[in-house]
Chain A
Amino acid sequence: MADKPIEGEKRVFMTGNEVVAWAALAAKAEIMYGYPITPQNEIMHYWTRMAPKFGREFLQTEDELSAGFTTAGGVLAGRKAFTATAGPGNTLMQEPMSMAEAMRLPVVVVVQQRGGPSTATVIYSQQEVTMTTMGGNGEGLRVVYSTATHQELFDYTIKAFNTAWKYRFPTFVLGDGYQAKMRESLTIYDPEARGVTLLPAEAYLGKPGTPGVDRPPAQYRNTYNVEEELYEVLQGYFKDYEKMAPEIAEFDAFDTEDADLVVISHGVVSRAAKGAVKELRAAGYKVGYFRPITLRPLPVKELRALGGRTKQFLVAESANGQLARLLKEAAYGCPVEMLPMYKPGVGITTEEVVARVKEIAG
């Protein structure tokens, strides 16, 4: 059996789905559970081709409920387990992720967003932001990284396993159909050779010793008998989450210091925003660029500072204001005006962002 999936560093040219499979291997993920749905299928295709060579496992389940719950089972057994899904599959995935929040299970989920609602398109959107950040019948006790490039897809898939196992909240890598299917270059690497420590997994159930004899039994539940009991548990979770939030919140920004208008976007749309802001700056417009990399938790401190000194935010997203809703909450009370550039289920190009900013500037 081969030793390491990636020796040293390698420049490659591949699809985003292939990138995710390589990243999961590099992160020492041990088992993937999954159910077919476009546009994430090739994550499973690459994983099932490569996994056996490195002693990793795969189970194709009967649906996404099962994919999520089997992934939870894998984590409970102490394995680095992950799944990938999209669209209506992500909808079903929210039920198991709700349990993962309740039990603090470090489940990793890669989402390749497609159009919604319903089956809609298998192509692309950013319409799974609300669901991925706040899904389930809970409080959004999860971490969501929104990637923009294949390099990030690789880097953050690896990081997602570390974040999940360090803080014990379910962790999502939020991609989209474009990232899933497009090909571009990136450098894949062995994280440990770069000095990245991969946190070990740890069993929740089935630790050594006989329960009740050598150790207390490990018993996990998600049902509480009384309101106060649940309240107390959640207070502990919120405290942990609030402590974690500033440690893991990430963003990318430039030219915001003197900007009158800052284009805010996330994920693949930020590629268009970045190009547009550079072009507009070169043409003399006082515009800036801001992009939250973590959508949950958001980089609230930075957003509020920005919202305090900038006249306008232009929120560009391939959804009807799902990112904007998160931003409005984070920047509540800030004097900034938020302008929409919503194209639900449709890609946004550099040219369009440039045109929209020029239109606003008059």
Chain B
Amino acid sequence: MGKTVKVLLAGEGGQGVQSVAQIIAEAANEEGREALYIPNFGVEQRGGVSVAYLQIGDEPIGAPKFLTGDIVIALSDRAVHRTRQYVGPQTLFVYDSSIENIEDALPANAKKILAIPALDVAKKELHPRVFNIIIMGAVVKATEVVSEADAKKAIEKKLGYKFEKNPKLRELNYKAIERGMELVARAM
């Protein structure tokens, strides 16, 4: 495998960027790969944009934070503004297509920009609660840092106790992963 992949996820509190980053990091660790995840925390976190720094590779990870991400994902208007600084010529920038009037704020220097209708899919097709799992699918596809099977295994590990009570939830979450992956595949 190649060099360490650096992913930055940003969104509003409650959009689940931290849990997505953590689940993916744990899935990579389970695969025996090196993973490092660090949230932004502190006063900024309260009412500010929630940012997760995620790195996955085959060598021990260096500095916990980085200047430029390989993939930067912004899930809200404020998140787009907050994360522009992490974009460079090699960065894939992903944002949710429901964010309005954001075109001018999009980073001009990105290698590629993808708009994915994750929020729409969550609301209309699946369930608003699995928005973050759709995003997780999108990250999995965009980074290819973990396999779809391992991503599902990681979700099972995290939410298995809920799935036991309500097997439909498992189906819903798995569907969310798949849809997230599809959205990126299509946009690419």
Chain A complexes with chain B: yes
Do B38 and A350 touch across chains, with their CB atoms under 8 A apart? Answer: no
Do A13 and B29 touch across chains, with their CB atoms under 8 A apart? Answer: yes
Do B63 and A349 touch across chains, with their CB atoms under 8 A apart? Answer: yes
Q: Is there a chain B Cβ closer than 8 Å to A312's Cβ?
A: no
Do A178 and B38 touch across chains, with their CB atoms under 8 A apart? Answer: yes
Which residues of chain B come closer than 8 Å to A177, judged between CB atoms? 41
Q: Is there a chain B Cβ closer than 8 Å to A351's Cβ?
A: yes
User: What number of B residues sit within 8 Å (CB to CB) of A?
Assistant: 23
The stretch that binds B, out of A58-66, A216-224, A270-278, is A270-278
Cα A38 to Cα B41 in complex, Å, equals 10
Which residues of chain B come closer than 8 Å to A123, judged between CB atoms? 40-42
Cα A213 to Cα B65 in complex, Å, equals 62
Do B41 and A271 touch across chains, with their CB atoms under 8 A apart? Answer: no
Within 8 A of B (CB), among A271-300: 271-272, 274-275
Q: Is there a chain A Cβ closer than 8 Å to B91's Cβ?
A: no
A38, A183, A350: the one contacting B37 at CB < 8 Å is A183
Contact-residue bracket for chain A: 20 to 34
Do B26 and A13 touch across chains, with their CB atoms under 8 A apart? Answer: yes
Do A122 and B29 touch across chains, with their CB atoms under 8 A apart? Answer: no
Given A182-B37, A272-B62, A351-B68, is A121 in contact with B42 using a C-beta cutoff of 8 Å?
A: yes
Do B63 and A347 touch across chains, with their CB atoms under 8 A apart? Answer: yes
User: How does the 8 Å CB contact mask read for A15-44 relative to B, with 1 for contact and 0 for none?
Assistant: 000000000000000000000001100000
Do A183 and B67 touch across chains, with their CB atoms under 8 A apart? Answer: no
Q: Is there a chain B Cβ closer than 8 Å to A139's Cβ?
A: no
Q: Is there a chain A Cβ closer than 8 Å to B16's Cβ?
A: no
Which residues of chain A come closer than 8 Å to B22, judged between CB atoms? 183
B25, B36, B64: the one contacting A347 at CB < 8 Å is B64
Do B66 and A351 touch across chains, with their CB atoms under 8 A apart? Answer: yes
Cα A310 to Cα B26 in complex, Å, equals 42
Do B35 and A185 touch across chains, with their CB atoms under 8 A apart? Answer: yes
Nearest B residue (CB) for A38: B42
Nearest A residue (CB) for B43: A122
Do A347 and B65 touch across chains, with their CB atoms under 8 A apart? Answer: yes
Given A13-B29, A349-B65, A349-B66, is A122 in contact with B36 using a C-beta cutoff of 8 Å?
A: no
Q: Is there a chain A Cβ closer than 8 Å to B39's Cβ?
A: yes
